[in-house]
Structures are given as structure tokens and as C-alpha cells.
Structure 1
Amino acid sequence: MRSHSRSRRSFKAAATTTAAAAALALALSSCSSAGGEGDADAEGALNSVNVIAPADPGGGWDQTARTLSQTLTGEGLVGSAPVTNIGGAGGTVGLASLATETDPYTLMVTGAVMVGAVETNASDVRIEDTTPIAKLTEEALVIVVPADSEFQTAQDLVDAIVADGQAVTVTGGSAGGIDHILAGLLLTESGVESSEVPGLLNYIPNSGGGEAVTMLLGNNAMAGISGVAEFSEHVASGDLRALAVSSPERVDMLPDAPTLIESDIDIELTNWRGVIAPGDITDEERAALEDVVAQAQQSEAWQSALADNGWADAYLAGEEFEALLADDIATTQETLKSIGLLE
């Protein structure tokens, strides 16, 4: 029997870029620049930035990118902040695009999902090749089922997967991402050997939160895992039921959902999101981006958006953010191995 001590970790994920994906990334990179070249004035203050959401519309990365863009422009911090969606491969298509970006004033949303996807798909471009700007938020994950599901608790779901294996379908974000990691940890915490997890777990990845909701509401998946903000509306409407959240404490947006700890499953896991920039920018360009993101984070508009989306303020910048990234990459590699998703 294997068990995992409770874990307060942030994971990231991305995926291998094929030649076709790389070509698409190059094309989309050109489109993103055409949306508005970022620039700064003589004193180094930014006039505009480009914001990339490395996923399709509707998910957490898209929500974060658009909230940041609206804050930057709404607070008058920049004149424009166009958002471009470059989805696919757990964020690594977007990561490939960032690697070829010629506009230094470009911010791409990253986070726990991207680190894992980089590892599971052996991405040619890695987060270490970019310039870290800031960590922005943390968010609990929630395990949900359709309203009429037979599963009443998270343990019911785990027991069904152990008993019926691939017959139980679970949907969530990208393969190797934090949703997938939580699904694997549920099994290993219940005593499943890591080598058995891939054969038991029928995990259906999606590139955006909207796709997971569609699958669940269409009864094409029996359970889903994602950030609280992505499922809370559908839980409130009664279309989905929340079995448990992965945070240390219950969350305000889903007050009736127990934590996994309360459910006697010894796991704590939170997702984080932040922003990175192209890897070859100058110190002055990096400082300008760090400054404008810091101003956005301190604004009332951003703080209000955190509350509205159920995101915890987890701002971290500079060397502290770089250290967090290095630690998360190492921790993610270890965890993916421990649940059988990485050799």
C-alpha cells in the first residue's frame, strides 16, 4: 500500500510540440503581435502589452488573461492589452509561440498545469526558457459529478475506479496537468500502486474548462476535476454536484463541499497561476513588466476580481518567484513519477 502525505504543491504542465504545432505557434505569434505591439515611453512606463492565454476560451488561463487585461486597461496602467488565445498541448503550443515572440512586452499566463504538461510531453520549449514575472493566484480544485450521479462522496468515486477501472470516466484539464495529478493521487492515496494507475484511470483531458462542463452535462464523463471557478456556476444551478475540494479549508464559493481531508482522503493540493515573458528580454523590459503587473495586483479592480472568482491572492515576484518555479518543476517531476504518469 502506498500513501501520500498531504501536499500543498503547485504544479505546471505542457506538452511536446510537433512540427505542425510549432508552425501553428509561429503563425499565431505573428497574429498576436499584429494585435498591438507593446511599447514603453522614454521613462520606461508601458503604453501597451500583449497578453497570451495558452488555452482555448472558457478555462482558468483564459479567465486570468482577460481579467489581467481588463485590470491593466481599466485602471489606466496601459492603453491597450489585447488577449490572444493559443490553445493546445497543455499550454506548450503557447509556450512555443512565446519562444518566438519578437515583442518583449508580452505576458503569457502560466501555472500548475503547464509544468506537468512540459514533463509528460517532453516539450522542446520549457518554462525555464522564459522570463518569470509574477505568481498571481492560487485556487482550490473541486471534484464534481452530474446532479443525478450515483456517487455521493469522493471516496465513492475512488472506490468505483478501483473496482471498475476504465469504465469510470473522469474529465479535466490537460494530460499531466494538476487535474490529472489529483486524479492519480486519489488512487495512490487509496492504496493503488503507482504502476497500476495508468491502467485503471480513464482520464479524458480537455484544453478548456468549457469542454469538461459540456462532457459532464452531456453524460459523456462520470466525474470532473477543475478549478472551483470553472465549475461553481454549474454547481450553484444544480446541474453538477461538488463531491470535495482539494484546499486545506472549505471555499466560500462552494461552502457545502467538504475538503478531501474531511472526506478522509489525506490530500491537499492547490493550483496556481502567474505570468511569464519571453526569455530574451532585457533587464529594463523585465522591470517594466514586473512594475505594471505589481500595480495591477495592488488595484481594487484586481482584488475584487479575486473575490468574484474565488481566487486567493498569491502574489510573488522576482527571485522568490524564480525559486518557486524551480521547486515546482522538481516536485512535479517527482509526483508524476509517484503516480505512474512519468517514467
Structure 2
Amino acid sequence: MRRDTFLKSLAALAAAGALPLSAQAAAAIKMMLPANPGGGWDTTGRALGKALQDAGVASSVTYDNKGGAAGAIGLAQFVNGSKGDPNAMMVMGAVMLGGIITGKPPVNLSQATPLARLTSEYNVFVLPANSPYKNMAEVVAQLKKDPGSIKWGGGSRGSTEHIAAAMIAREVGVDPAKINYVAFRGGGEAISAILGGNVTVGGSGFSEFAEYISTGKMKPIGVTSAQRLKGAASSIPTLKEQGINVEIGNWRGVYGAPGISKAQRDELVAQIEKATKSKAWAEALQKNDWTPAWLSGDAFGKFVDDEFASLRATMAKSGMI
């Protein structure tokens, strides 16, 4: 093949996205964020995008927020609109799995390509600053008297905070079907509702509440981990030490488009791993109190499958499905 013909062919392949990122110039990444602005997925996706640019992997990152239905709306758009695109990514997490179990969306997560788990954390339950309740014990006492009077607020139905609220009810002898759970389209909406006193108890990952806890705008009353968290969250008691046998974790990861090749997937994983070693990502971890939880490729895919089974069993036990 003549050299000029080869170069033209190479350029055509790169333009079509058929070459892995390392064989092209820094790519223009399209990042699906299946949540409204201001929540955990949004924060994670934008931090990852900045890290990809900081690591020299991405020339630019375009973000597309599509919130609702525990991420199912964004998932459907991603699966249907990005097939074969090696420069498309979607941030997701445990919340999406619960939403898929309860909502049965028209597309499957398995149609997309698992790339990497990025972070893990636990949920924290908080009260508005002006709440008449002081701790989880007082909330539980009122829950037992009148389940509907305690308005729980958090992510979509099937989210880990929704599951945790149902588990708390079950553990204290209240029918989980009677809890008054308000599902918001994203973390930003939930935070606004908590700050405005429109819910009794709010739940989400600690990183989403950290700023408001530190400034006294929210009162933390329990964390869903087995042991107390470290750092800024170390003063928050676990549910278990308050006599409520509930433990459930949260995590966030990233998927690639359906139909990309194994070579393209492996290259994306390598580039994301490079981004997680950047200064920008280190700063994001520190700022948001995220715990690194790297797991990639097939191992991440198996983890997600196992999480589906575990969450389904937990939700069935709590009367949610």
C-alpha cells in the first residue's frame, strides 16, 4: 500500500472512532450524566471529565444531564444513541441498579460496556437544621407511632437510600410498605428539599451532604456502614451502634457504549485509570471525601451482576418488590 493511501485510511478510521484513544489525538469525550445537575453522579462525571483532560486523554468533554427514573432515562438514551462510539461514557452507580429492578426500563444495562468502578461510599441520613428531632432514636419512635408522619427524602425509588429507609422500618417493626418516601430526580433536588425542611429525613452519600453538615445546615443522625467512617464523617454514629441492624453501601462507576470492541474497551479502561492518577482526580477525591474503589473490565461487570442479585434479595426481604 502506498504511504499516502495508508495515511488517508488511518485518518478515516480515526475520524470514524474505529481506533482506540491512544492511536488518535486527545479525544472529544461525550459524557452521559443520567441525573440532574448537583447530585453525586453529576459531580463524579464532571470530576472524571476534568481528570481525563488533566491527564491529556480528552481534548474536551461534553456533558449531557438526563435525570429521572433512577437513571433509566439517561441509560436508555445512552444505549440507543451511542452504539459503537468509543468516545462515549456514562457515569452510573448502585442507585441505577435498584431503579432497574423496580422500574423495568426498556433497555438493559448489560447492553452497555462496563469500564470501571471509581469510588465507594456509604449513605448518611440527615435532618434539616430546624428539625424537632435530635437523633435517629427520636425519628424511629415517631415512625413507630405514625409511619406516614416521617417523610423520607432521597434519590429515585429503588435507590440505596430508599432501600435503607425500608430496611430501617423493617428492623424496628414497621411495615416497609407504610413508609412515606419522597423520590427526587437527583441529589440537587433532594438537597434543596432537606434544606427547606420539606422532608423529615434525607439520605444520600456523605459526599453530597458534607458541605451542609460542616456548616450546620444539616444534622447527621446515622451512617449505613458497619463501622464509623473516617475523616470528616467520623463523629456520625452507625445505624448498627444505635441498635438498627442495617448496612448498605453505595458506589459509582463508568460504562462505555454498546458495541465497542474489546480493544477499544481496554484502551478506555487504561485511559480512565490514567485519569484517576491525575492531580485533578486526587483533588476531587479529597474535596468530596470519596474512597477510591478501582475495579475494571470483566471484574467490574461481574461485580455489577453480583450487586444486582444482592440488591434484589435485600429489596425482596424489605417488601419493596
TM-score computed with the length of structure 2 as normaliser? 0.89
Per-residue deviation at 1:44?
5.7
Per-residue deviation at 1:326?
0.8
Superposed counterparts of 1:315-334, under 5 Å: 315-334=294-313
Instruction: Compute the RMSD of aligned alpha carbons.
Output: 1.9
CA contact (8 A) 2:128 2:196 kept: no
Q: In the alignment, which residue of structure 2 is the partner of 1:94?
A: 74
Per-residue deviation at 1:256?
2.2
Q: Which has the larger radius of gyration?
A: 2
Per-residue deviation at 1:42?
7.5
Per-residue deviation at 1:37?
9.1
Instruction: Find out whether 1:242 has 2:220 as its counterpart.
Output: yes
**CA offsets 1:106-149 (integer angstroms, 9 cap, x no match):** 11011100000001011121212211000000012110001222
Q: In the alignment, which residue of structure 2 is the partner of 1:54?
A: 34
Instruction: Find out whether 1:336 has 2:315 as its counterpart.
Output: yes
Instruction: Find out whether 1:219 has 2:201 as its counterpart.
Output: no
Residue among 282, 285, 289 paired with 1:303: 282
The AA in structure 1 aligned to 2:235 is D
Cα gap change, 1:45 to 1:127, in 2 (>3 Å): farther
CA contact (8 A) 1:90 1:117 kept: yes
CA contact (8 A) 2:22 2:267 kept: no
Cα gap change, 1:253 to 1:64, in 2 (>3 Å): same
Q: In the alignment, which residue of structure 2 is the partner of 1:204?
A: 182
Per-residue deviation at 1:52?
1.1
Q: In the alignment, which residue of structure 1 is the partner of 2:106?
A: 124
Per-residue deviation at 1:41?
5.8
The AA in structure 1 aligned to 2:188 is G
Unaligned runs of 5+ in 1: 1-35
CA contact (8 A) 2:27 2:87 kept: no
Per-residue deviation at 1:214?
1.5
Distance 1:221 1:96 in 2: 30
Q: In the alignment, which residue of structure 1 is the partner of 2:125?
A: 143
Q: In the alignment, which residue of structure 1 is the partner of 2:209?
A: 231
Residue among 263, 267, 278 paired with 1:288: 267
Instruction: Find out whether 1:105 has 2:87 as its counterpart.
Output: yes
Distance 2:62 2:180 in 1: 37
Q: In the alignment, which residue of structure 2 is the partner of 1:6?
A: none
With 38-47 and 94-103 compared, the bigger mean Cα shift is at: 38-47
**CA offsets 1:288-336 (integer angstroms, 9 cap, x no match):** 2111111112223212211210110000002211110110011111111
| Aligned-partner SS, 1:203 | strand
Distance 2:110 2:278 in 1: 29
Unaligned runs of 5+ in 2: 1-14
Q: In the alignment, which residue of structure 1 is the partner of 2:3?
A: none
Distance 1:144 1:251 in 2: 17
With 247-256 and 112-121 compared, the bigger mean Cα shift is at: 247-256
Per-residue deviation at 1:239?
1.6
Q: In the alignment, which residue of structure 2 is the partner of 1:153?
A: 135
The AA in structure 2 aligned to 1:227 is G
CA contact (8 A) 1:46 1:288 kept: no
Identity, % of aligned positions: 35
CA contact (8 A) 1:143 1:225 kept: yes
Corresponding residue pairs, total:
303
Instruction: Find out whether 1:162 has 2:162 as its counterpart.
Output: no
Instruction: Find out whether 1:182 has 2:174 as its counterpart.
Output: no
The AA in structure 2 aligned to 1:120 is T
**CA offsets 1:252-303 (integer angstroms, 9 cap, x no match):** 2233211222222222222100001122111222122111111112223212
Cα gap change, 1:163 to 1:316, in 2 (>3 Å): same
Q: In the alignment, which residue of structure 2 is the partner of 1:79?
A: 59
Distance 1:259 1:271 in 2: 15
Cα gap change, 1:239 to 1:189, in 2 (>3 Å): same
Distance 2:23 2:188 in 1: 42
TM-score computed with the length of structure 1 as normaliser? 0.84
| Aligned-partner SS, 1:313 | strand
With 81-90 and 299-308 compared, the bigger mean Cα shift is at: 299-308
